[in-house]
Amino acid sequence: MIDVLIAGGGYVGLSLAVSIKKSAPHLVVTLIDGAPEDAWKKDERASAIIAAASQMLDVLGIWSEIEPEAEPIKRMVITDSKTADPVRPVFLTFDEGGVDGRPFAHMVPNVALVGALRKTAADLGVDIRQSTTAKDFKSGDHAVSVTLSSGDVLDARLLIACDGVRSKLRDAAGIKTVDFDYGQSGIVTTVEHERPHDGTAEEHFLPAGPFATLPLKNNRSSLVWTEWTHDAERLIAGDDLVFEEELERRFGHKLGRLKVVGGRQAFPLGLTLARDFIAPRFALAGDAAHGIHPISGQGLNLGFKDVAALAETIVDADRLGLDIGSLAVLERYQSWRRFDTFRMGVTTDVLNRLFSNDITPVRALRDFGLGLVDRMPSLKSFFIRQASGLGGETDPKLLGGQPI
């Protein structure tokens, strides 16, 4: 029988499979994913990976493979202005130095990350099955029976749903969510510029939401550009020239001429928090448990924290001879992750509401706050350490760079 059946082969499902197999190679781990075999190779996006997550990827033997393509974020600049303003006044900067002498985050192309995870999972003996989805499941005393879109039924001791923010398995488990639609979409694309970015990430708070430029290798930057959904749809479907002109209005000319080098996609943005993370022989991880606004680039990093906590819960229980699918075992994972997730969900929600508007007194207040933080080095280092995810005393071992 399968020990752990993972539904969803995104970053979270794959890194969970690797984390479990690395420390408990005797467990039978099967991963099913709805996407066709090579779909991941078409993902042109990049993600900010915080220092704690890169420590975890290092323990899993993945970081060395992706490091040559990872661009350190050395400096962050935060501005707040109207879209048409000719200059974007800087209110807050985080300079080189990072945390304990290392960058608080790196930008990593998704293809590099998923490619390395898939290779390591296959090398460790994870059975990966593409183009099939989990439709429903039924939990029993000793196993969970999972019905696939192919009609096959797989029995496992534990089913883990990593099937993204619109998780069908979460619904099948009857787990309710707290949901909010921001009416915003995140436009994602890549640009090439004439001059180097010197490892600087910028976040411009504009009336429709944040416009973030994140450094990549070779004079390129990844953009996460928030717009009201109807404007985002117009920009995605519209003419290339209009798109580039609107982009230049926001990006400015400080890095010279810009050229869009990636496709452009828009993702609807919302807040989705699962009320429970577990049910008998069932657990949620990654976006299936929490979808948050990308304002702080922490969505995937929250998923990596789930992975570290869930893998440690499973491996420890297995070493003690406990039933890895029992609620008593899974409760440890839920209590580890639920509060942190809720806190991050609320923080990103408040930040988005505070910064995605053009109300003059609110703007004055937030700019005063940013300026205050900018003049307090100890507060700045506190924020940057928090953002790096390093040093949490109760964090799972993988995040602290320790094997399970």
Ligand X SMILES: Cc1cc2nc3c(=O)[nH]c(=O)nc-3n(C[C@H](O)[C@H](O)[C@H](O)COP(=O)(O)OP(=O)(O)OC[C@H]3O[C@@H](n4cnc5c(N)ncnc54)[C@H](O)[C@@H]3O)c2cc1C
Return residues touching ligand X (CB under 6 A).
7-13, 32-35, 47-48, 133-134, 162-164, 168-169, 186, 188, 224, 267, 286-287, 294, 297-301, 303
Is 277 in contact with 333 (CB distance < 8 Å)? yes
Which three-class secondary structure state does DSSP give residue 224?
strand
Residue 4, classified by CB atoms within 10 Å of its CB into exposed (0-12), middle (13-18) or buried (19+), is buried
Smallest separation, CB 276 to ligand X (Å) = 17
> Is the CB of 73 or the CB of 143 nearer to ligand X?
73
Please give the backbone phi and psi of residue 143, each rounded to the nearest 5 degrees, phi first: -155, 165
- The distance in angstroms from the start CA to the end CA of the chain is 24
Residue with tokens 């800087």: 90
> Is the CB of 91 or the CB of 211 nearer to ligand X?
211
User: Phi-psi region for residue 265, left (φ > 0), alpha (ψ -120 to 50) or beta?
Assistant: beta
Please give the backbone phi and psi of residue 32, each rounded to the nearest 5 degrees, phi first: -115, 140
Smallest separation, CB 384 to ligand X (Å) = 16
Smallest separation, CB 63 to ligand X (Å) = 15
> Is the CB of 10 or the CB of 325 nearer to ligand X?
10
* CB hemisphere CA count around 163 (13 angstroms): 25
- How do beta strands 75-80 and 200-206 pair? parallel
> Is the CB of 169 or the CB of 314 nearer to ligand X?
169
> Is the CB of 157 or the CB of 305 nearer to ligand X?
305
> Is the CB of 158 or the CB of 318 nearer to ligand X?
158
Smallest separation, CB 32 to ligand X (Å) = 5
Smallest separation, CB 107 to ligand X (Å) = 8
> Is the CB of 118 or the CB of 363 nearer to ligand X?
118
Smallest separation, CB 158 to ligand X (Å) = 15
Which three-class secondary structure state does DSSP give residue 41?
helix
Please give the backbone phi and psi of residue 230, each rounded to the nearest 5 degrees, phi first: -65, -35
Smallest separation, CB 242 to ligand X (Å) = 21
Any idea what the Cα angle at residue 47 is, between residues 43 and 48, rounded to 5°? 170
